[in-house]
């Protein structure tokens, strides 16, 4: 256990000193020996990361620590992919459209545990004035897009909506710059976060077969051929919002926040809303998304997407990787 001392200024600029007791992992090198960790370039920059290919080590400047790197051996690369390059016969857009007629994303459902009770409603978290303005703008944008629905206090009680506190966190280091926040730029600077711990602890887990649609990193790497090929990556923007909650469970995804005077009322006006579409923090979301992407790709592009054989499309959460021997 280590003690970290820090000072934080409140919304009025008054500093407050804290002493935090931090649990530090011992023997982390040994724990990670047989693990595969996927780190993006942006994360490596934030970590002050440095790769030493001579000593086969990864140095983390922020933590003043280093870990040994070992050759990946989590799975055997499919030898079929290392054969002579073959140009794929892709379907036309008209064929894909015909295949997808009648196909829809599944509705998200959830079952409560037998002893689950609605959490006692409480006030949302306080933030700086800028953060509360950002939060109000984010919610307003989501409401305009049909992702959330505003509720009155009376509607919350009449429907028995579960209320979790919401807050805004900066996406980038310069999010707190004096640039005026608008509906157009707020999503580039801030992210809406809902503390859904009370919901997640009350919802039953899905059956084990759902996990089979979430391919681990090792399985994705094992599908990639060792020869020189072309890659393209697709990041599905706001991917989870493609799925709607079923009416039977939508009442679980309510949240509260302070209006900050953006959408009418005073800065301390308490607002309520409920998600109609799937959220990132809901514990079943990643499973439903993985199942949905699998269903979509197997229906639309069975020629190039498979999970039981050679595939040219790999999906990992909301990222899709496509590879080919030919740039076109």
Dihedral sign for Cα 216, 219, 222, 224, please: negative
Residue 313 has pLDDT above 90, yes or no: no
Element (H, E) at 5: strand 2-9
pLDDT tens column, 13-59: 888 888 877 666 666 556 655 666 767 777 888 888 888 888 888 88
Question: Which two structure tokens, joined as six digits, stand for 45?
Answer: 């920059």
What are the residue boundaries of the structural domains of the chain, listed by start? 2-68, 129-324
Question: What pLDDT, in 10s, does the model give residues 221-230?
Answer: 777 777 778 8
For 244-262, how does the pLDDT look when each residue is reduced to its tens digit (9 = 90+)?
Answer: 999 999 999 999 998 776 6
Supply the pLDDT for residue 79. 46
297 near 291, Cβ under 8 Å? no
Digit-coded pLDDT (tens) for 185-211:
999 899 999 999 999 999 999 999 999
The answer to whether 297 and 322 are in contact (CB under 8 A) is no
Nearest residue to 143 (alpha-carbon basis) of 241, 239, 216: 241
> Which whole number is the average pLDDT over 61-66?
78
254-258 and 163-170 as β-strands: parallel, antiparallel, unpaired? parallel
CATH of 129-324, one of 3.30.70.890, 3.10.10.10, 3.90.25.10, 1.10.10.10: 3.10.10.10
Task: Flag whether pLDDT at 285 surpasses 80.
Answer: yes
- The pTM score is 0.75
Of the candidates 322, 306, 238, 295, the one whose C-alpha atom is nearest the C-alpha of residue 107 is 295
Name the pLDDT band for 77 (thresholds 50, 70, 90): very low
């Amino acid at each position: 256990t280590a003690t970290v001392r820090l000072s934080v200024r409140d919304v009025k600029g008054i500093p407050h000193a804290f002493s935090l007791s931090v649990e530090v992992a011992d023997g982390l090198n040994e724990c990670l020996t047989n693990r595969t960790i996927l780190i993006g370039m942006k994360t490596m920059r934030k970590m002050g990361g440095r790769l030493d290919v001579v000593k086969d080590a990864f140095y983390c400047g922020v933590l003043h620590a280093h870990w040994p790197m070992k050759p990946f051996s989590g799975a055997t690369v499919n030898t079929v992919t290392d054969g002579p390059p073959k140009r794929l016969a892709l379907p036309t857009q008209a064929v894909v459209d015909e295949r997808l007629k009648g196909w829809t994303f599944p509705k998200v459902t959830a079952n409560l545990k037998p002893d689950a009770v609605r959490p006692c409603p409480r006030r949302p978290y306080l933030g700086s004035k800028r953060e509360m303005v950002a939060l109000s703008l984010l919610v307003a944008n989501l409401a305009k897009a049909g992702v959330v629905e505003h509720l009155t206090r009376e509607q919350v009680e009449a429907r028995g909506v579960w209320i979790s506190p919401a807050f805004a966190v900066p996406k980038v280091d310069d999010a707190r710059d004096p640039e005026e926040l608008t509906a157009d730029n707020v999503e580039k600077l801030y992210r809406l976060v809902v503390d859904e711990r009370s919901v997640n602890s009350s919802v039953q887990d899905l059956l084990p077969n759902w996990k089979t649609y979430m391919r681990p990193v090792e399985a994705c790497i094992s599908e990639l051929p060792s020869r020189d090929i072309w890659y393209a990556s697709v990041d599905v923007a706001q991917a989870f919002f493609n799925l709607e909650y079923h009416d039977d469970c939508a009442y679980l995804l309510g949240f509260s926040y302070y209006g900050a005077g953006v959408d009418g009322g005073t800065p301390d006006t308490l607002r309520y809303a409920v998600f109609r579409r799937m959220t990132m923090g809901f514990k079943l979301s990643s499973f439903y998304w993985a199942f949905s992407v699998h269903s979509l790709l197997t229906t639309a592009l069975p020629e190039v997407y498979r999970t039981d054989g050679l595939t040219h499309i790999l999906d990992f959460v909301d990222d899709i990787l496509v590879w080919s021997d030919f740039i076109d």
